[in-house]
């Protein structure tokens, strides 16, 4: 007799698998600067990665870049040789959870958000600092720290914002060079970040900014740029970090307008610089140039000339070893339980309106806002557009680029608009629109200038003949042409929609991006499912991904797994949220004593979403005599917001997350929890075993429990496969891939 099935993580497998003997196609449309013969060409990444800061930690190089209003953001790339780069992390989950950062009530933060940053490594810890929205009421000064750049980052908000900062840990202090026109050096305590001294050390005007600070040999250097799209790089030096500074005679790199970046030394003692060039519609793209030192000054490139401005190969940096080619990811079959690092949301997403689990193997985009234009539509999923040139082709010989989606529109409602956009200003898109009960092809070309949105051209097309449709954008960064096509079989393509000449303006301040979107013009509730996105000219999952590859991607840790690992760790407990408390953690528990009427607990500056869970459970070793109270806040403050309060009267305290109400009757929002604290009179210790989220109020939640919630496990399966794609006539012991009659596909274990 078959035992009860346990639903694990959802996974999608296409039924037409390749045999083990067949060879997968390699991706053709991807950028590499590595020529495979010990040389490289510029740019090192042919996409929008501006405001470069690069450091080396051991044998790995890390590259930080600006992401503005895209989340998760603050992109970090990694490389072993300064030429081959891949995604490392996007540690910034959000800046503020408010209307402007969430595209609500007519507000936005286009061209604002996360600006030029500094990345440092000091005493075993990474420091990633940047200012945000420096001219608005939402100005923030954010420091991210981590011991592992691909692990968890801690967010700290600093009291003062520094424009285009360059950090330097030196001689027991932290120095911050910053400013525009006038460059200041601020001397800070490296632990408290309190300012000790501040001095204007450079006053040259002409938009001088982008300062990076170094101590090399006998000198302190401030490496900066004269601003604007025609910017040029310069450098200043002093024997003291607080000045006086002298400027190099003649700018160190003036003619090619490649500017604002970092200096880095290889393991073998070579010096290089990574700077960016404003390159039109594609955005601001990074270049790698050699550096030699003469009389204590860096000389960039080949005597100040770009070593490969026409795509001429140049010897790669000597890092003491050879390393394989790496690529920036673009393609996604959406089988993994987490989004790839190439993806970011336009402003803060509504996480309740998208899913990778609702239909395993597909990205589900629900309508997250009611609007009449894409600029204000929430939950548009974006990635940078890369220029793709074959290896050895000069970078000024442009090749057509493609972005294609396979989309199921059966879940759309009246007034919904869903599709694929090429986005800057102007922007355009091809879409399916539900109009008068019919699904029709639809296209727009629009401009956006500060607060003004203008639909320059719209085009209605025929009613579509299938709920499965393929949409494609074709673009060329040589001519800036953009046009669209559609297909019903992924083989025969027809042109449709508006044509656009791509551009770049400061209204968005990023290079062209692909947008996957779905918005409602009448009422929320509809959805579309996207099977895959590709930048290849021709694509099917079976050609590029083996069943084993898909299985490995599906087995990646889900967002729920990562979230549960990080929620309310005893290592993250802060004993002094209000008043100084004491805290000691052992292998079995943590001992906490607050100050008199003080608070200790967990503070999440980016907020956590607990709405998917039913209960929050506090487990103590024994009851406490200090009259402890559990407090939960849905605002990022202890003093200007009401809290939900629950007296802690026994060893186990269970909070119903769906029904938290303050003393005045205000309902606490479980989707935005910033602080979970324990308040007491401080008269005795509190012995904490655990704080965890739960579905049943007794046991800790698991991804499996989340998936099972509300799912009927007894749906009759219509098709069953092994994990390697072999068709089965019935459920067998072990892992089964099951397609149900309702169209859902799940992974189940039968015993």
| Structure confidence by residue, pLDDT tens digits, 699-710 | 888 764 554 443
Which of 511, 544, 577 is the endpoint of a domain? Answer: 544
437 CB contacts (<8 Å, ≥6 apart)? Answer: 414
Is the same domain home to 159 and 185? yes
Q: What does the pLDDT read at residue 715?
A: 32
Q: What does the pLDDT read at residue 12?
A: 34
Tokens representing residue 383 in the block: 């990635």
Does pLDDT of 720 surpass 70?
A: no
Is the same domain home to 132 and 247? yes
Encode burial over 428-444: b for 16+ CB neighbours within 10 A, e otherwise: bbbbbbbbeeebebbbb
Cα–Cα distance, 89 to 152 (Å, whole number): 10
Tokens representing residue 523 in the block: 């009422």
Maximum Cα–Cα distance across the chain: 85
Cα–Cα distance, 152 to 562 (Å, whole number): 10
The answer to whether residue 594 is domain-embedded is yes
Q: Per residue in 573-623, pLDDT tens?
A: 999 999 999 999 987 889 999 999 999 999 987 778 888 889 999 999 999
CATH number at residue 216: 2.115.10.20
The answer to whether residue 282 is domain-embedded is no
Is the same domain home to 89 and 175? yes
Among the residue ranges 16-30, 68-82, 247-261, 442-456, the one predicted with the least confidence is 16-30
85-89/416-423 β-pairing? unpaired
Does pLDDT of 711 surpass 50?
A: no
Tokens representing residue 324 in the block: 């394989």
For the segment 554-563, the average pLDDT, to the nearest whole number, is 69
Q: Which residue is associated with the tokens 């008068």?
A: 436
Is the same domain home to 141 and 206? yes
**CA–centroid distance for 319 within its chain:** 29
Cα–Cα distance, 177 to 184 (Å, whole number): 6
Give, for 28, the enclosing helix (H) or strand (E): none
Does pLDDT of 373 surpass 50?
A: yes
Is the same domain home to 698 and 734? no
Q: What does the pLDDT read at residue 588?
A: 81
Q: DSSP string covering 697-723, please? A: SSS---HHHHHHTT--TTPPEEEEE-T
Q: What does the pLDDT read at residue 713?
A: 29
DSSP 3-state of 177:
strand
Is the same domain home to 87 and 154? yes
CATH number at residue 641: 2.60.120.430
Cα–Cα distance, 479 to 270 (Å, whole number): 38
Instruction: Tell me how far CA of residue 436 lies from CA of 115, 415, 418, 522, in angstroms.
Output: 44, 8, 16, 12
The answer to whether residue 584 is domain-embedded is yes
Is the same domain home to 480 and 605? no
CA 31-36-40 angle, to 5 degrees, is: 65
**CA–centroid distance for 98 within its chain:** 18
> Residue 204: which of 176, 168, 163, 234 has the closest Cα?
234
Confidence of residue 148 (pLDDT cuts 50, 70, 90): very high
Q: What does the pLDDT read at residue 743?
A: 53
What is the number of structural domains in the chain?
4
> Residue 418: which of 475, 476, 379, 384 has the closest Cα?
379
CB atoms within 10 A of CB 229: 13
Confidence of residue 14 (pLDDT cuts 50, 70, 90): very low
Instruction: Tell me how far CA of residue 75 lies from CA of 330, 342, 511, 579, 743, in angstroms.
Output: 15, 9, 15, 36, 37
Residue range(s) defining the domain that contains residue 626: 563-703
Among the residue ranges 9-23, 187-201, 440-454, the one predicted with the least confidence is 9-23
Q: Residue 719: phi, psi to the nearest 5?
A: -140, 140
Is the same domain home to 617 and 737? no
Q: Residue 570: phi, psi to the nearest 5?
A: -65, -25
Q: Which residue is associated with the tokens 């629950």?
A: 646
Say how many CA atoms lie within 13 Å of 90 toward its Cβ.
23
Which of 688, 703, 718 is the endpoint of a domain? Answer: 703
Tokens representing residue 126 in the block: 């990474």
Q: What is the average pLDDT value for the chain, to the nearest integer?
A: 87
> Residue 534: which of 23, 27, 26 has the closest Cα?
27
Is the same domain home to 91 and 184? yes
Encode burial over 570-604: b for 16+ CB neighbours within 10 A, e otherwise: beebbbebbeebebeeeeebbebbbbeebbbbbbb
Share of the chain above pLDDT 90, in %: 66
Is the same domain home to 381 and 364? yes
More confident residue, 199 or 558: 199
The answer to whether residue 618 is domain-embedded is yes
Cα–Cα distance, 398 to 389 (Å, whole number): 6
The answer to whether residue 24 is domain-embedded is no
Tallying the residues shown for the chain, one arrives at 751
The answer to whether residue 522 is domain-embedded is yes
The answer to whether residue 32 is domain-embedded is no
Q: DSSP string covering 303-356, please? A: TTB-TTTTS--EEPP--SS----------B-S-SSS--TT-EEESS--GGGEES
DSSP 3-state of 659:
helix
Q: What does the pLDDT read at residue 3?
A: 28
Is the same domain home to 355 and 464? yes
CATH number at residue 516: 2.60.120.200
Tokens representing residue 4 in the block: 């009860």
> Residue 246: which of 232, 235, 254 has the closest Cα?
235
Q: Which residue is associated with the tokens 């009259």?
A: 627
Q: Per residue in 490-525, pLDDT tens?
A: 999 999 999 999 999 988 899 999 999 999 999 999
The answer to whether residue 322 is domain-embedded is no
Which of 244, 265, 286 is the endpoint of a domain? Answer: 265
Give, for 474, the enclosing helix (H) or strand (E): strand 468-476
Check: CB of residue 614 under 8 Å from CB of residue 608: no
pTM: predicted TM-score of the whole model, two decimal places: 0.78
Cα–Cα distance, 52 to 67 (Å, whole number): 11
Confidence of residue 722 (pLDDT cuts 50, 70, 90): low
Is the same domain home to 638 and 501? no
Confidence of residue 301 (pLDDT cuts 50, 70, 90): confident
């Amino acid at each position: 007799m078959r035992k009860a099935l346990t639903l694990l993580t959802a996974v999608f497998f296409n039924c037409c698998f390749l045999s083990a003997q067949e060879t997968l196609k390699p991706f053709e449309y991807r950028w590499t600067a590595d020529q495979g013969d010990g040389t490289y060409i510029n740019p090192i990444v042919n996409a929008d990665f501006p405001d470069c800061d690069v450091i080396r930690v051991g044998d790995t190089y890390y590259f930080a870049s600006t992401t503005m209003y895209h989340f998760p953001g603050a992109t970090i790339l990694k490389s072993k040789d300064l030429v081959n780069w891949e995604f490392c992390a996007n540690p910034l989950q959000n800046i503020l959870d408010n209307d402007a950062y969430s595209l609500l009530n007519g507000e936005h933060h286009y061209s604002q958000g996360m600006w030029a940053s500094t990345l440092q490594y000091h005493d075993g810890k990474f420091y990633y600092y940047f200012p945000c929205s420096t001219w608005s009421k939402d100005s923030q000064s954010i420091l991210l720290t981590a011991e592992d750049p691909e692990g968890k980052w801690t967010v700290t908000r600093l009291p003062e914002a520094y424009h285009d900062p360059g950090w330097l840990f030196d001689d027991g202090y932290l120095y911050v060079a910053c400013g525009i026109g006038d460059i200041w050096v601020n001397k800070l305590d490296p632990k408290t970040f309190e300012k000790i001294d501040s001095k204007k050390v450079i006053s040259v005007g002409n938009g001088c900014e982008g300062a990076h600070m170094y101590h090399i040999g006998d000198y302190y250097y401030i490496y900066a740029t004269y601003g604007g799209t025609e910017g040029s790089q310069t450098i200043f030096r002093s024997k003291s970090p607080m000045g006086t500074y002298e400027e190099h005679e003649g700018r160190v790199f003036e003619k090619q307008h490649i500017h604002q970046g970092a200096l880095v030394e290889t393991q073998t003692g070579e010096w290089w610089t990574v700077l960016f060039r404003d390159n039109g519609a594609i955005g601001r793209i990074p270049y790698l140039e050699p550096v030699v030192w003469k009389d204590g000054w860096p000389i960039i490139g080949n005597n100040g000339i770009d070593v490969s401005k026409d795509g001429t190969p140049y010897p790669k940096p000597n890092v003491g070893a050879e390393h394989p080619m790496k690529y920036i990811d673009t393609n996604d079959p959406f089988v993994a339980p987490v989004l790839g690092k190439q993806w970011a949301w336009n402003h803060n997403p509504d996480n309740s309106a998208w899913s990778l689990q609702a239909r395993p193997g597909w990205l589900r985009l629900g309508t997250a806002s009611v609007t009449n234009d894409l600029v204000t539509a929430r939950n548009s999923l974006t990635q940078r557009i890369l220029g793709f040139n074959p290896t050895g082709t000069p970078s000024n010989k442009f090749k057509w680029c493609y972005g294609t989606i396979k989309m199921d529109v059966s879940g759309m409602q009246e007034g919904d608009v869903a599709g694929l956009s090429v986005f800057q200003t102007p922007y355009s898109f091809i879409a399916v629109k539900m109009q008068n009960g019919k699904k029709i092809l639809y296209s727009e070309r629009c401009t956006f200038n500060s607060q003004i949105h203008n639909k320059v051209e719209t085009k209605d097309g025929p009613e579509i003949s299938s709920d499965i449709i393929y949409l494609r954008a074709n673009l060329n960064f040589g001519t800036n042409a953009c046009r669209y096509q559609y297909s019903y079989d992924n083989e025969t393509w027809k042109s449709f929609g508006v044509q656009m000449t791509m551009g770049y303006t400061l209204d968005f301040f990023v290079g062209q991006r692909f947008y996957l979107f779905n918005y409602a013009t009448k009422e929320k509730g509809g959805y579309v499912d996207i099977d895959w996105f590709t930048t290849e000219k021709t694509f099917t999952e079976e050609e590029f991904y083996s069943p084993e590859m898909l299985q490995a991607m599906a087995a990646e840790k889900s967002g729920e797994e990562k979230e549960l690992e990080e929620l309310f760790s005893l290592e993250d407990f802060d004993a002094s949220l209000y008043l100084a408390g004491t805290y000691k953690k052992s292998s079995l528990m943590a001992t906490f004593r607050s100050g008199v009427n003080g608070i200790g607990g967990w503070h999440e500056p980016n907020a956590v979403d607990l709405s998917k869970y039913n209960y929050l459970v506090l487990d103590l070793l024994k009851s406490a005599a200090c009259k402890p109270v559990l407090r939960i806040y849905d605002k990022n403050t202890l003093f200007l917001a009401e809290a939900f309060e629950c007296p802690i009267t026994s060893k186990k305290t269970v909070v119903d997350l769906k029904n938290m109400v303050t003393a005045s009757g205000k309902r606490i929002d479980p989707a935005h929890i910033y602080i979970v604290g324990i308040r007491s009179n401080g008269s005795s210790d509190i012995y904490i075993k655990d704080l965890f989220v739960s579905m049943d109020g007794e046991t800790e939640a698991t991804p499996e429990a989340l998936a099972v919630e509300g799912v009927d496990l007894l749906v009759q399966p219509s098709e069953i496969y092994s994990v390697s794609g072999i068709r089965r006539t019935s459920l067998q012991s072990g892992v089964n891939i099951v397609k149900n009659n309702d169209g859902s596909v799940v992974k189940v274990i039968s015993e």
